[in-house]
Copies of this chain bind each other. A is one copy, B any other.
Amino acid sequence: MDFEIGAHDANSSARTGRLVTAHGVVQTPAFVPCASRGVVKACSPKDIASVGVQAVMCNAFHLLIQPGVETIKQAGGLHRFMNWPGVVATDSGGFQVFSLAEPKNITDKAVILPSPLDGRQIELTPELSIEIQNQLGADIIMAFDECTSYPCSYEDAAGSMERTLRWAERSKAAHSNSEQALFGIIQGSVYPDLRAQSARATADLGFPGYAIGGVSVGETEAEMFAALEASLPELPEAAPRHLLGVGVPVQMIEAARCGIDLFDCVIPTRNARHGRLYTWEGIIRIGNAQYRDDFRPLSEQCDCPACAQYSRAYLHHLFRLQEATAWRLLSLHNLRFFVQLMEQIREGICTGRLDQLRKCVAAITTY
């Protein structure tokens, strides 16, 4: 992987870049939709290519459970298994430790957590997570980390951050696929000094890229940005930075202003399945009665398959029927909005109009 920085924003730390991988180039800042189980929910890989998605984020833990690493390895890796020609990143499973494992089952040595499929106990270690990710063959992989919940005491946050550092070292030592870029992960909860320490020490270990983890877990927006602002100055300028789990449009613009290059989140697709649609004219809740007889497209400005083919009235009808076709078309619409939003962010950086974009986006989206 190669990362070439392009333009810098005159009024912030934002920058554009080109992330060059064996599976193509990602123009940054970029939004990377979640395909945790090897599929962006309700969409086919061909579908998401059609709306301009450059990269997807899969999850090593979920894929370990189903279909299993052996199947994907036999297929020739994740790209081939999914028949997705673009860039793939995998998350390490650290977040699933946070959401699924009991505290008593988390030690420095290993984490034991139940399979969401059948409750079977699974032991994960940094070495195993990296081995799995090496075999899945994504272009970008993540160090195994411990994500803290919110609220979290200073002592717990410090202990967890230090464990994440030890795991980062073990992850790096275990990594054995030179075609994959291993990103180190910054933790430290909402404590700026822990965040700074985590970023400094992770940078000292040396990774081709870095991810900020443990955000968007219930903390305030101010706390999230304080954590971000404490972390980023400690990371090497030249390396790409990924903000894990953030996908609220205004937060992405603000984080890009702090110097974030990559984002992943389920927001566009989950909101779509709940009938909440982004347009440059404002949010549409397609299930509302006002759209029953509205024969305009969702947005005159959008070229997604939903807007190109179907009216609000038809999409309202399909959504009220709880039709899978609604979930697909609406997901593709929101993904297209996110792709266009990132294009606007990149253009805003080049033209110095990022602040203007932030105000415009804040006015049309509240979440």
Contacts and interface: CB of A to CB of B under 8 A. Distances in A.
Interface stretch (A52-60, A233-241, A310-318): A310-318
Contacts of A39: 318, 321, 323, 325
Interface string A250-283: 0000000000000000000000000000000000
B46 A317 contact: no
Contact of A42 (B67, B81, B82, B324): B324
A86 interface: no
Contacts of A44: 305, 309-310, 325, 328-329
A71 interface: yes
Given A67-B292, A75-B295, A317-B67, A46 B324 contact: no
B46 A81 contact: no
Nearest to A62: B321
Given A37-B321, A324-B328, A325-B42, A83 B314 contact: yes
A67 B74 CA distance: 47
B75 A313 contact: yes
A86 to B, nearest CB: 14
A43 interface: yes
Contacts of A359: none
A120 interface: no
Contacts of A43: 325
Nearest to A327: B324
Contacts of A123: none
Contacts of A324: 41-42, 324, 327-328
User: What is the copy number of this chain in the assembly?
Assistant: 2
Contacts of A320: 66-67
Contact of A309 (B83, B323, B325, B328): B83
B321 A66 contact: yes
A318 B324 CA distance: 14
A38 interface: yes
A260 B312 CA distance: 39
A293 interface: yes
Nearest to A46: B309
A43 to B, nearest CB: 6
Interface of A: 37-39, 41-46, 66-68, 70-71, 74-75, 81-83, 292-293, 295, 305, 309-311, 313-314, 316-318, 320-321, 323-325, 327-329
The 5 lowest CB-CB distance pairs between A and B, nearest first, are: A324-B324, A42-B324, A67-B317, A44-B325, A71-B293
Given A38-B317, A41-B325, A44-B309, 12 more contacts: A37-B321, A41-B323, A42-B323, A66-B320, A68-B292, A71-B313, A71-B317, A74-B295, A75-B313, A81-B317, A83-B311, A324-B327
23 contacts: A37-B323, A38-B314, A38-B317, A39-B325, A42-B323, A42-B324, A44-B305, A44-B309, A46-B305, A66-B321, A67-B313, A67-B316, A68-B292, A71-B313, A71-B317, A74-B293, A75-B314, A81-B311, A81-B317, A83-B309, A83-B310, A83-B311, A83-B314
